[in-house]
Amino acid sequence: MTAATSGPRLRDVNRVAVLALIGRHGPISRADIARRLGLSPATVTAVTRSLIEAGVIRKVDDGIPQGGRPAELLAVVGRAAHAIGVKVAAGRLTGVRADLDGTLLHTFSAPFDETAVNPFGALSELLAPHVAAVDDAPLLGIGLGVPGFVDSRTGLVEAPLLGWRHMPLRDYLSQLLDVPVLVDNDVNTLAAYEHLYGLGRPYEDFLTITLGQGIGAAVVSGGDLRRGGHGAAGELGHLPIDPAGPPCHCGRRGCLETYVSDGALVQQAREVGAVGPDAGPADLRAAADSGHPGAQEVYRAAGARVGTVAAGLVTVLDPQAVLVSGEGTLAWTHLADGFVTALRAGMFLPLVDAVNVHVDPWDDTKWALGAAALVLRAPFTMNAEPHTDAIRARLAAFPGAEVTQ
């Protein structure tokens, strides 16, 4: 199916497919591209020539000869374009500038009052200098990751944690800064990063689970991010655990987050006397690091809880891998045992050895890089969403593209 919303851009479907293959599967020869995509060598030559002339890809190396003429390995030119990625959190923005190949160029951070009368105006002013900064490579656009959900059709943001309802963040910023803007759930942006540049590169079906202040998930299936019917997929933190459990900010009781969010863990540690009344997540980690059994047990139990939930997801979704990320992985040494044990114990048995688990060491800028990846992956996908076309057009406008005219 997939047909319904497919845009008019069916012409260069192969151009995108070739670029995606080069982008995701590293340096690769034309012959290999032709084989993998089922295209004729002639077509691959034509497509790659146009991409080379546009400066988007280049020959990086000679392959080792396989008994004949050695292959020329092609890879994307990171400097062909760049994007800005921003993670929006309550009180603070974290931003990056990244190359087309995901290379981190520059990071920035600033306080942000999401409760202001016009938070978008402040956001726009904050980003404007970065947009205006000269660079020899074109700015493809700005990606934003927000802790909430986004209707990718309308671009409206629902972010209870920020107090935002029906906020037209995408279109507003795009108009003000005159740059393509993409907005998505922050965990989805992270998954976009993992898929394109990170641990998810080898997979077409994987799960990303994030631990921290909240608990999140993103589903990549069939090589595409699954946002669900209303853009609200992945709300793992609000999985019902116990209808009589602690109240959750979402309005329910006993959501997973009320048991394993950073705040919940600290609370549990306080109750067993593992940390003092004013302790924070770092104190809890320190307690566990120094061998406090109560603190360690809090982590183990939390890991087990998430592991069990993950096992359920794996059983239903059958991914090739589960990636764990987020600030919470700072305490991974304490969480790992509970998580892995519960995951393996709860997975549908035949899958136990078939699903890989990777932990992505947490990094402040990775979420923002993910937001940038949201933009940087646009040239590599066939989506015909509003701003992705504009992004592709900006890449095509790279010097060299018009020279061919």
Partner DNA sequence: CCGCTAAATTCGGCGAGTGAATGAAGGGTC
Partner DNA sequence: GACCCTTCATTCACTCGCCGAATTTAGCGG
Q: Which of residues 46-85 bind a second copy (CB under 8 A)?
A: none
Question: Is position 230 an interface residue for a second copy (rule: CB under 8 A)?
Answer: yes
Question: Is position 338 an interface residue for a second copy (rule: CB under 8 A)?
Answer: no
CB 56 → DNA: shortest distance, Å? Answer: 15
Q: Using CB under 8 A, which of the segments 58-66, 120-128, 223-231, 276-284 binds a second copy? A: 223-231
Could you say which of DNA, a second copy, none residue 1 binds, taking C-beta under 5 to 8 angstroms by partner kind?
A: a second copy
**397: which 2 tokens?**
């406008």
Question: Is position 382 an interface residue for DNA (rule: CB under 7 A)?
Answer: no
The alpha carbons of the chain give a radius of gyration, in whole angstroms, of 22
Q: Among residues 251 and 277, whose Cβ is nearest to a second copy?
A: 251
Q: Are 387 and 226 in contact (CB under 8 A)?
A: no
Short-list 404, 398, 405, CA closest to 56? 398
CB 76 → a second copy: shortest distance, Å? Answer: 15
The whole-angstrom separation of Cα 111 and Cα 306 is: 31
Q: Distance between terminal CA atoms of the chain?
A: 36
Rounded to 5 degrees, φ, ψ at 356 are -90, 145
Could you say which of DNA, a second copy, none residue 250 binds, taking C-beta under 5 to 8 angstroms by partner kind?
A: a second copy
Q: Which of 27, 31, 107, 204 binds DNA (CB under 7 A)?
A: 31
Q: Are 170 and 182 in contact (CB under 8 A)?
A: yes
The whole-angstrom separation of Cα 366 and Cα 182 is: 17
Short-list 79, 157, 80, 82, CA closest to 123? 157
Question: Is position 229 an interface residue for a second copy (rule: CB under 8 A)?
Answer: yes
Could you say which of a second copy, DNA, none residue 270 binds, taking C-beta under 5 to 8 angstroms by partner kind?
A: none
User: Interface residues for DNA in 68-107 (CB under 7 A)?
Assistant: 68-72
Question: Is position 3 an interface residue for a second copy (rule: CB under 8 A)?
Answer: yes
Question: Is position 66 an interface residue for DNA (rule: CB under 7 A)?
Answer: yes
Q: How far is CA 30 from the centre of its chain?
A: 29
Question: Is position 318 an interface residue for a second copy (rule: CB under 8 A)?
Answer: yes
Q: Among residues 45 and 267, whose Cβ is nearest to DNA?
A: 45
In 67-138, DSSP assigns E strands to 72-76, 82-89, 91-99, 104-112
Could you say which of a second copy, DNA, none residue 46 binds, taking C-beta under 5 to 8 angstroms by partner kind?
A: DNA
Q: Among residues 235 and 360, whose Cβ is nearest to a second copy?
A: 235
Q: Which of 12, 27, 31, 37 binds a second copy (CB under 8 A)?
A: 37
**99: which 2 tokens?**
């190359």
Up-side HSE of residue 360: CA atoms within 13 Å toward CB? 28
Q: Among residues 48 and 388, whose Cβ is nearest to DNA?
A: 48
Pairing of strands 164-167, 157-159: antiparallel
